Structure 1
Amino acid sequence: MFARFVDRPVLAGVISVLITLIGAVAGLTLPIAQFPEIAPPIINIQATYPGASAQQAYEAIAIPLEQEINGAQNLLYINSTSNTDGSVSMDATFEVGSDLDAAAAEVLTRANRAEAKLPPSVNAQGLEITKSSRQRLGNIVLYAEDGAPYDELFLANWAETQVIKPLRRVQGMGRIVNFSNKRYAMRIWLDPLKMEALGISPGAVTTAITQQNAQITTGTLGKPPVDQATAFELQLVTQGRLRQPEEFGNILLRANPDGSVVRIRDVARVELGSEQYGVRSSFDGAPSATLGLYQNPDANAVQVMDGARATMVDLAKRFPPGLKYKIALDRTEFVKEAIFEVVRTLFEALVLVVIVTYLFLQNWRATLIPAIAVPVALIGTFGPMALLGFSFNTLSLLGMVLAVGLVVDDAIIVVENTERLMDEGMAPPEASREAVTEVAGPVIATTLVLAALFVPVAFIPGLTGKLYNQFALTIAISVMISAVVSLTLTPALCGLILKHRETDAKDESRWRAPLRRFNAGLEGASRRLVAAIGWLTGHIALVAIVFVLFAAVTVWMTMQRPSGFVPDEDQGYFFADVVLPKGASVARTDRMVDRVGEALREIPSVEHTIGVTGRSILADAIAPFYGFQIPTLKPWGERDQSVTDVIATVQKHFKHDPDGQIRVVNPSPLPGLGSRSGLTLELQDRSGTGGLKLAEAAQRFIAEMEKLPSVGRAIPTTSYGVPQMRLEIDRAKAEQLGVPLQNLFDALGTYVGSSFVNLFNRFGYVYQVYVQSEASGRRTIEDVEALTVLNNRGEPVRVGSLIQTHFVTGPTAVLSYNTYPTIEIAVDTAANASSGTAIAAIEALADSKLPSTYAVEWTDVAYQEKIAGGYAPLIFGLGTLMIFLLLAGQYESLRLPFVILLGTPIAIFGAVGFLAIRGLALDIFGQVGLLLLVGLAAKNSILLVAFAEDLRKQGEDVLKAAQDAARLRMRPILMTSFAFIMGSVPLAIASGAGANARVSMGTVVIGGLLVATFITLFVTPTFYVAFERLLGKPAASQEHESAAPQPAE
């Protein structure tokens, strides 16, 4: 059937041109991404309880919301953080591939049911529910040039009003976090002494503001129905919400009998200030407004960030003089660089494959044919990729790199067979027809085997399926297109291009001497291979015993090899979390954060630093003794140090710092799954033992964990040892003195904690009004004791007479995971240990050491790794089964597929052995490589077995058929295998952005195929003979032999 294309080269060319054109057009539409859409969808809920402690915010907000949201459809886990400023952030994480709109609607419905249980002040501010992702896009900073009169408050609010709004409209943009968090607010700073002197209570102030700063509607004069028509309708307007500090200062508190009045300005200072003052942002040490950009889970990071860049360019045209911006961190630069590195690897692989092809074919005409066929197959792959919704990402492009060595195989097989027949005297067109007829069966069989191998991958759910899917299907598509090209275009080109070799003086030239020696070596190896097969078939029992031992060693090595999920990468930035002693002030933390930033900027590889005081990026918590720096590194080509080297330098510099602890970590290698690399463990209190006992249990468990060989360090991201002052209220004395408890609570909450009253409008925005004491009333506990509260008779009573105080400790933040109070523990594995080993060891430790009142769960990357580990055996098992069934159907035999698949343990042995030599873990990229090796090992065995079967049908003895198949197929097997191996070398020696994933996969496929190629040349023919003698049918009759075409020797 395919021989006709030798006589119709134009048709063959048209087919390939159409394949190339469709692929090229589709390739222009494919988006660029680091990975497929693997980030689990997240619905984020934000709420604030002004003046509340972390524990109070947890009990008042987090618990009611969690009780309602828990159990939502497709919910993986729910976690919340309740901070010391009364804010609560809650993430409901759903399964990968869940409908984000449906998830958001369900969370909203459930949150609405919880509103009745929330405090009035929380409901007054509302719940903020957004579709979100932890997939950080980057950071934009606004800063003032030297001499420009812009402070951090102005910068933060310019960002809020002029920058964030248009950025939110960028397609695919998720939440935008203003790390400065200094939104304008009307601040009413009460003077406690004046309040006491004038007999004004804090409640009177908040009541007056509520009544006099209100949105008022007054109606319309003459609006129908009226009994007498009017000429005009006049809208009545009056001042409702106030706008200026002076207007709030004029709010009337009391009118005295003598005609005098008391206004807010008489007892307070009013200013346009900030909602909070506990967080500060800087860029390279100068005040700034820092925005953290996050994408929606279903958005393309590169497209979103490109849209953000274009938006900022347009916005900057309207910035006031001296106001500048910079995209200080763009995570998509790593994505683009990593994709560029993979594309470069693709071209390097193509060049190396062509070189290997020439080495074996030793004919530039013959080499040209695969060099034409490979780009057609690769470019043609883009068409189906576009139909399937794929992108140019690390996995799909890695699939194409490996496909270079696969797609060239089919063309090489056709060309090599054609040349062999031409050497036997056939003309090129005749040889092309005969060659494609002979190899069409094996080519189709190997193509179907590789396609069948990856079919089960398409049905694997969740993140594991997403990671395998695009890689596997890209290879399957490219191999199928390659088969079409090899059976249509390749024979046509063979008939047109190939010529008989000339054996003149040119052939004896010096430059061909190495090639002659190479050929002589192959011929000698072929003879020794034939002899070895004869010896091995005579000692089949010994071969079987050795093979069984070999397979057992392979299983043992695989089980002993440390496992992992995704290797860490040099993404061009890292995190330096700053933690001061518990209870340290914001000012003290600010100095430490600045000092860390100065040290970081002295490192030659560091380009910029983004600093934030009052917030932990690792714990995602707010506290005065937290801070962090995000150092961004110079481009990969402009620095000698990797991110690992820089982190080691920083850790050494701050290892024994007396002022605080610096936690330096690499970001998560999987975007959208946590903020840091390493493992994240949740130690849960399942029985309500209390925060202090949970903290004590965590410390004991951490001490035991750090004794494990696989654990480097374990750090709790929150603590319960923060100094606090507990107020014990003497309720009997309050009753005796006529002080309503509510008055006392209002006074403490307003003076010390601040009270949110209502809203005002300004700059086209709605802002909040807060009432709080001047600093003189809340610096020390003595200031608080000196405050007064009015009794029922309007007389002032000292707060100190109603309370007793003593020191206690409490949490930095209250964390919850799956509705249980938790302490989150960041775990770094030991230098030579894998994450899979650490997970297993920690779980075993928890089972043996933790009381039954506590439990551990994994989250983020570790959670996904646990799930992925369960699917790996299923994927390999189903893939191997699909190959077996396909071959059984094709050959109408159960023994031949078994013989063909005996090369699998050999390939796995080589792969795991090379990983061990290089000290690498068997991560998910290595597992994908192992899956591919199953097909590659089967492909070589198919070429041997299929040819031997053809010879058997022609009447040859089983041993002679096996030996002839090995002798005739050795050269193409070595050629195709070494073409694939050389095409994978750039992966195994990769460096730069995204190198670790390429190194892992390249090591596996090179090691596995290298070992499998050499050993299967001996093992497959030997077992073929053994099984045929034991279970097979005798050779065909002599009549059939005489009628069958004879293979050339």
Structure 2
Amino acid sequence: MFASFVDRPVLAGVISVLITLIGAVAGLSLPIAQFPEIAPPIINIQATYPGATAQQAYEAIAIPLEQEINGAQNLIYISSTSNADGSVGMDATFEVGSDLNAAAADVLTRAQRAEARLPQAVRDQGLEIVKSSRQRLGNVVLYSDDNRYDELFLSNWAETQVIKPLRRVTGMGRIVNFSNKRYAMRIWLDPARMEALGLSPSQIVQAIEQQNAQITVGSLGKEPVRDAPAFELQIVTKGRLTEAREFADVVIRANPDGSVVRIRDVGRVELGSEQYGSRSTYDNKPAASLGLYQNPEANAVEVMKGVRATMTDIAKRFPPGLQYRIALDRTEFVEASIHEVIKTLIEAIVLVVVITYLFLQNWRATLIPAIAVPVALVGTFGPMALLGFSFNTLSLLGLVLAVGLVVDDAIIVVENTERLMEEGEAPREAAREAVNEVAGPVIATTLVLAALFVPVAFIPGLTGQLYNQFALTIAISVLISAVVSLTLTPALCGLLLKPHDKAAHRSRWRAPLRWFDAALDRATGIAAGSVGRLSRHLVATGLVFLVFAGLTAWMVASRPSAFVPQEDQGYFFADIAMPKGASVARTAAMVEEVGRAALAEPSVAGTIGVAGRGILADVTAPFYGFQIPTLTPWDQREETVTDVIGRLRQRFKNHPDGVLRIVDPSPLPGLGSRGGLTLELQDRSGAGGLALARAAEGFIAKLKELPEIGGATATTSYGVPQLRLDIDRAKAEQLGVSLQSLFDALGTYVGSSFVNLFNKFGFVYQVYVQSESQGRRTIQDLSRLTVPNNRGEPVQIGALVTPHFVSGPTAVLSYNTYPAIEIALDTAESASSGAAIAAVERLAGTALPTDYAVEWTEVAYQEKIAGGWAPLIFGLGVVMIVLLLAGQYESLRLPFVVILVTPLALFGAVGALALRDLPLDIFGQIGLLLLVGLAAKNAILLVSFARDLREKGEDAVTAARDAVRLRLRPILMTSFAFILGSLPLAVASGASANARISMGTVVIGGLLVATLLTLFVTPVFYVAAERLGERRGRTGEPGQKEHGKDDREPGTAPQPAE
């Protein structure tokens, strides 16, 4: 059938051109991404309870919402953070592959049911529910080099002019203004003046509520009226106030003498900020910093393209001196990674062509498989587009490894044609016979490789997403290469190959190649000769193999495991924790110091600083801060991010003011914001925050003793100094002070009271009432504040309350509806993440009381789930190979001969990882799956030819020996073509280098060992299988023919090419 293409080269060419054209057109539409859509969908809920403590916000907001949202379909975990400023952030995380719109609708419905149980102040602020990723996509900063604009102006310019258009960028999720200085009308009360005039804060609030209101009056002459006037006039009047002077003129009280008391008589009014608890900088200059988070379904590269285009347009309207910079762009790493993988792909193609020429030693013969490579690779783009794939790290790694695979089938056809031509056949006849001889093995090996990967497509969750595009990309490329090898390759052999010129073969410049041929002939003789010797000691050979297999099993089991390697992504996080209770000003000084140290590093391009907010747990508190140093591009620096981190860690190791914890960002987009492991310690008994904090402190101390753990830190603190006020309720009643008046006075003077809204600059802003600083600096200031009693007499608050120093939480965290403390873990340099997870779980089982439990989250959670799929994936691969070969050979023995090479490949792969001190991560596991097919492919070539020779009358040993002689050259050629094609992976550098190194190390080590040992082991096992079949009397199986039925004498076979 396939031999007919030798006589129809135009048809063969048309088939390949069509495959290439379809793939090229489809390739133009494929998006670019770092990974497939692996991030679990996240629905983020934001709410605020003005003036509330963290515990109050947790009880009033988080608990009702969690009770309703918990149990949503496909929800895997729900977490919340209730901050000391009354804000609550909640993330509902769903299974990978869940319908994000359906999840959002479900969460919205459940949140609406809970809304009735939320305080009115929370409902007034509203709930914000958005689809968003947890990992930051980028940061846009606004700043001025000459500091002409303060942070308040920059933050509000961002709110009014930048955030609105950025929200319209396709795929944008939420945008966080880390400056958080949104305009607000601030009424600062003078407690002394308030006392002198006998006013209470509630009177101020009531006056503003009444006089700053949206009023609708109606129209004059509007139908129906008698004697309708000629005109209808709509009545307008001043409702909501807009200017500070208007609020200052608000009348609080009219006195009997006709005078009035206005707000300006008891305080001052300014257009200020909603909050003053954070500060934001860029390169230590005041800045507005906008954190961009994408919609989980969106393509990050396309979103950032939209951001850059939008910012370019907005910048045209900037006032003088205002500048912006995209200070952090995570897609730069994505694009650099793709560039590095494409460069690796090109290097692999060149190396494959070189090794092919080394074996074939004929430029015409080398050109034929070289043509097959671009046809198969480009043709793969078409099915990739149909399946919704993208150009990402995994699919492109699949194409890199496919280079060595797609050339294999063409090499087998060309090499067999060359061998027949050396025996004297003409090129066209040789091509026909060659393709007929190898069509069976080519189809078998192709189906084995394709079938090996297809079951992976049905694995659910994150593991399935990681395996899926890599596996199917290879399977598609191998199927296309088989079509090309059986159609275009034989046609080109008939057209391009010429009879061998023996004189040219003896020329001087070919001397090194003759040396290579001689070495190959010696290797062929050694391998073929070993078949007979080992066949005489089948039991001993089998025992040695069993020992070898047992050693392999031990090596695989004992090799440290990991999920994904940490990469140099071009930036890192420096989280700052000051002493508990430190002011934001003190924290800002530490943030600035860390920024100066980072900017002094030659590889650091810029820094994004924030004081008043942590980055490890995204907690808002005055004694937390962070810096995000961004590095220069990978090709402009010699060192890695690890080198920079190491120096900064050493510099701030024993800093007297604060603790600096430097971490890498998460290696998987959408799974948390940082690298390392994240553990949630849960209180399931309701013992309270302090008991949970004590349990966490003891557990962390024991975690630090584990050799697998390099560091353990609680991301929040429960030992924060707080002031507790015990109210003498009886005395308040005696003095005529209502508790509500007392609470209102405290809440307004100290905590600030949200009153209502006003309009300005086309936006709606909030109005707050609070005491001037002299009424809220110290305990004495608090005690001197007064509240009017029912007779209008001022009563000092100090007479009604007794202050006590206590400790409490910075923030209250919960995980899966239980109060929790989040623990960030770093693995020790000598340990893998898998070993660390196992060690922590063992410790938790013995060190924690029964009322406490631990749960993994983010990357660690996914790693735990992924660990259970690896054995099933390999098991399915082996089963598919056995079933296909059993159907082809009509035998159950020969498939097991093929599959027994698997331990050889695993031994080489795990041994190579051990030599390079690398853990077995997800990329290594993907490489192992590929190795199963590659090792089986070589064994199939040997078994298929040995089987054919047996059918022609040779005994088992002779057939196995001659199969080695005939197939050693193509097996070595295809194997070393793949090994050299994978070499750029194993020695990779730059962006995403660690993933390529892991996969390259596995496939090179495994295939190298498997190829060399397969030539000795597979023929011997084939002989053993045939003898076993003969003893059992299976006369119907191949290999049971009588000798002498063939026209050749037993023991003779076509000789390999010289």
Q: Give the TM-score of the pair, scaled to structure 2.
A: 0.98
Stretches of 4+ aligned residues off by more than 6 angstroms? 1043-1046
Residue of structure 1 equivalent to 2:77:
77
CA deviation profile, 1:247-302 (whole Å, cap 9, x unmatched): 11111111111111111111121110000001111111110000111111011111
How far apart, in 1, do the equivalents of 2:798 and 2:1049 lie?
111
Check the 8 A contact 1:958/1:1035 in 2, yes or no.
no
* Alpha-carbon shift at residue 1043 of structure 1 (Å): 11
1:558 Cα offset (Å): 0.5
Distance 1:1027 1:890 in 2: 16
Pairwise CA distance, 1:228: 4.1
Quote the Cα distance in structure 1 between the aligned partners of 2:552 and 2:641.
Answer: 35
Q: Of 609, 633, 636, which residue of structure 1 is paired with 2:634?
A: 636
Counterparts of 2:946 and 2:234 in 1: how far apart (Å)? 98
Q: Does 1:794 align with 2:792?
A: yes
Q: What's 1:204 paired with?
A: 203
Residue 31 of structure 1 aligns with which residue? 31
What whole-Å deviation, never above 9, does each CA across 1:844-868 have from its counterpart, x for those lacking one?
Answer: 1101111101000000100000010
One-letter amino acid of the counterpart of residue 751, structure 2: G
Partner SS, residue 152 of structure 2:
helix
Provide the C-alpha distance between the structure 2 equivalents of 1:716 and 1:115, rounded to a whole number of angstroms.
31
CA contact (8 A) 2:813 2:820 kept: yes
Cα RMSD (Å) of the superposition? 1.2
Q: Which residue of 2 aligns with 1:616?
A: 614
Paired residues of 2:953 and 2:1044 also in contact (CA < 8 A): no
Q: 2:898 aligns with which of 900, 909, 924?
A: 900
Q: 1:676 matched to which residue of 2?
A: 674
**2:737 paired residue among 721, 736, 739:** 739
Asked whether 1:218 is paired with 2:217, we answer: yes
The residue that corresponds to 1:119 in the other structure is: 119
Q: Deviations over 1:725-753 (max 9, x none)?
A: 11000011111111110000000000000
- Hey, what does 1:187 align to over in structure 2? 186
Amino acid at match of 2:345: L
Residue 572 of structure 2 aligns with which residue? 574
> 1:333 matched to which residue of 2?
332
Q: Which residue of 2 aligns with 1:167?
A: 166
Whole-Å separation in 2 of the counterparts to 1:174 and 1:129: 10
Pick from 966, 969, 975 the counterpart of residue 968 of structure 1: 966
**Counterpart residue number, 1:253:** 252
By how many angstroms is 1:1039 displaced?
7.8
Q: Does 1:479 align with 2:485?
A: no
Shift of 1:173: 0.8
Q: How many angstroms does 1:26 deviate by? A: 0.7
1:539-618 matches, within 5 Å, as 539-618=537-616
Q: Distance in 1 between the 2:799 and 2:632 partners?
A: 61
Q: Contact 1:222 / 1:229 at 8 angstroms: preserved in 2?
A: yes
Partner Cα distance (1:643, 1:228) in 2: 83
Q: Deviations over 1:810-861 (max 9, x none)?
A: 1111111001111100000001100000000100110111110100000010
Give yes or no for contact 1:573–1:633 (8 Å, CA) kept in 2: yes
1:663 — aligned with what? 661
Q: In the superposition, relative to structure 1, how do residues 1047 and 22 fare at CA in structure 2: closer, same or farther (>3 Å)?
A: farther
For residues 177 and 639 of structure 1, what CA distance do their matches in structure 2 show?
Answer: 31
* Inter-partner Cα distance in structure 1 for 2:491 and 2:219: 88
The amino acid that maps onto 1:632 is T
Q: State the 1:1041 CA deviation.
A: 3.0
- The match for 1:101 is 101
Tell me the equivalent position of 1:356. 355
Q: Match for 1:654 among 652, 655, 658?
A: 652
Unaligned runs of 5+ in 2: none
State the identity %. 75
Task: Indicate the SS of the match to 1:182.
Answer: coil
Does the CA contact (< 8 Å) of 2:954 and 2:1043 recur in 1?
A: no
| Aligned mates of 2:279, 2:453 — CA distance in 1 | 52
Task: State the alpha-carbon separation in 1 of the partners of residues 431 and 626 from structure 2.
Answer: 68
Query: 1:385-464 counterparts in 2 under 5 A?
Result: 385-464=384-463
Offset of residue 372 of structure 1: 0.6
What is the rounded CA distance, in whole Å, between the counterparts of 2:1004 and 2:632 in structure 1? 33
Following TM superposition, by how much is the alpha carbon of 1:102 offset from its aligned partner in structure 2, in angstroms?
1.0
1:785 and 1:798 in contact (8 A); partners too: yes
Residues of 2 paired with 1:427 and 1:221: CA distance? Answer: 106
Do the aligned partners of 1:301 and 1:332 also contact (CA within 8 Å) in 2? Answer: yes
Quick one: which of 833, 837, 846 aligns to 2:831?
833
Task: Give the deviation of 1:96 after TM superposition.
Answer: 1.0
CA distance in structure 2 between the aligned counterparts of 1:248 and 1:345, rounded to whole angstroms: 66
Q: Deviations for 1:5-63, whole angstroms, at most 9, x for unmatched residues? A: 00000000000000111111111111110001111111111111111111111111111
Aligned residue in 1 for 2:1046:
1041
Cα displacement (A) at 1:508: 2.5
CA–CA separation in structure 1 for the residues paired with 2:691 and 2:634 = 47
Which residue identity does 1:391 align to in structure 2? Answer: S
Q: Secondary structure at the match of 1:381?
A: helix
Q: Residues 13-52 of structure 1: matches in 2 within 5 Å?
A: 13-52=13-52
CA distance in 2 between partners of 1:626 and 1:89 (Å):
17
Structure 1: distance between partners of 2:559 and 2:700: 26
Q: Which moved more, 1:387-396 or 1:706-715?
A: 706-715
3-state SS of paired residue (1:455) = helix
CA distance in 1, matches of 2:387, 2:226: 70
* Distance in 2 separating the partners of 1:294 and 1:271: 33
- Residue identity matched to 1:1048: P
Question: C-alpha deviations, 1:114-143, integer Å up to 9, x for none?
Answer: 112111111111111111111321111100
Which position in structure 1 is the counterpart of 2:772?
Answer: 774
Question: Is the 8 Å Cα contact of residues 957 and 1035 (structure 1) preserved in structure 2?
Answer: no
> In the alignment, is residue 233 of structure 1 matched against residue 237 of structure 2?
no
Measure, in 1, the Cα distance between the counterparts of 2:871 and 2:572. 34
Q: Amino acid of the residue matched to residue 493 of structure 1? A: L
- Aligned match for 2:980, one of 976, 979, 982: 982
Give the whole-Å Cα distance in 1 for the aligned partners of 2:526 and 2:661: 61
Residues 665-690 of structure 1 show CA distances to partners (whole Å, capped at 9, x for unaligned) of 11111011111111000000010111
Q: Could you tell me which amino acid in structure 2 is paired with residue 890 of structure 1?
A: Q
TM alignment of 1:691-706, pairs within 5 A: 691-706=689-704
The separation in 1 between residues aligned to 2:222 and 2:99, in whole angstroms, is 49
Q: Does 1:3 align with 2:3?
A: yes
Q: Structure 2 matches for 1:496-575, cutoff 5 A?
A: 496-504=495-503, 506-575=504-573
Q: Which amino acid aligns with 1:606?
A: V
For residues 388 and 224 of structure 2, what CA distance do their matches in structure 1 show? 61
CA displacement, residues 132-169 of structure 1 (integer Å, 9 cap, x when unaligned): 1113211111001316x311100000000100000110
User: How far is the alpha carbon of 1:231 from its aligned partner?
Assistant: 2.7
3-state DSSP of counterpart to 2:617 = coil
> Which amino acid counterpart does residue 853 of structure 2 have in structure 1?
A
| Residues 897-1046 of structure 1: pairs in structure 2 closer than 5 A | 897-1032=895-1030, 1033=1035, 1034-1037=1039-1042, 1041-1042=1046-1047
The residue matched to 2:142 in structure 1 has which SS?
strand
User: Given that residues 955 and 1043 in structure 2 are in contact (C-alpha distance below 8 angstroms), is that contact kept between their aligned partners in structure 1?
Assistant: no
- Write the distance in 2 (CA, Å) between the matches of 1:541 and 1:117: 77
CA contact (8 A) 1:954 1:1044 kept: no
Per the normalisation by structure 1, the TM-score is: 0.99
Looking at structure 1, the residues matched to 343 and 465 of structure 2 have their Cα atoms a distance apart, in angstroms, of 24
Which amino acid is 1:359 matched to?
L
Task: Find the residue that maps to 1:570 and give its secondary structure.
Answer: coil
Secondary structure, aligned partner of 1:769:
strand
Residues 414-457 of structure 1 show CA distances to partners (whole Å, capped at 9, x for unaligned) of 00000000000100000000000000011110110011001111
* SS of corresponding position for 1:282: strand
Deviations 1:459-496 (A, max 9, x none): 11111110000000000000000000000000000000
The count of aligned residue pairs is 1047
* Mapped partners of 1:907, 1:634: distance in 2: 40
Question: Residues 949-980 of structure 1: CA distance to partner in whole angstroms, max 9, x if unpaired?
Answer: 11111111111111111110011000000000
- SS across alignment from 1:676: coil
Instruction: Provide the C-alpha distance between the structure 2 equivalents of 1:62 and 1:804, rounded to a whole number of angstroms.
Output: 30
Q: How far is 1:796 from its partner? A: 0.9
Q: Distance in 1 between matches of 2:135 and 2:735?
A: 57
C-alpha contact 1:956 1:1035 (8 A) present in aligned 2 = no
In 1: Cα distance, 2:571 partner to 2:1026 partner: 60
Match for residue 134 of structure 1? 134
Report the Cα distance in structure 1 between the residues aligned to 2:607 and 2:523, rounded to whole angstroms.
61
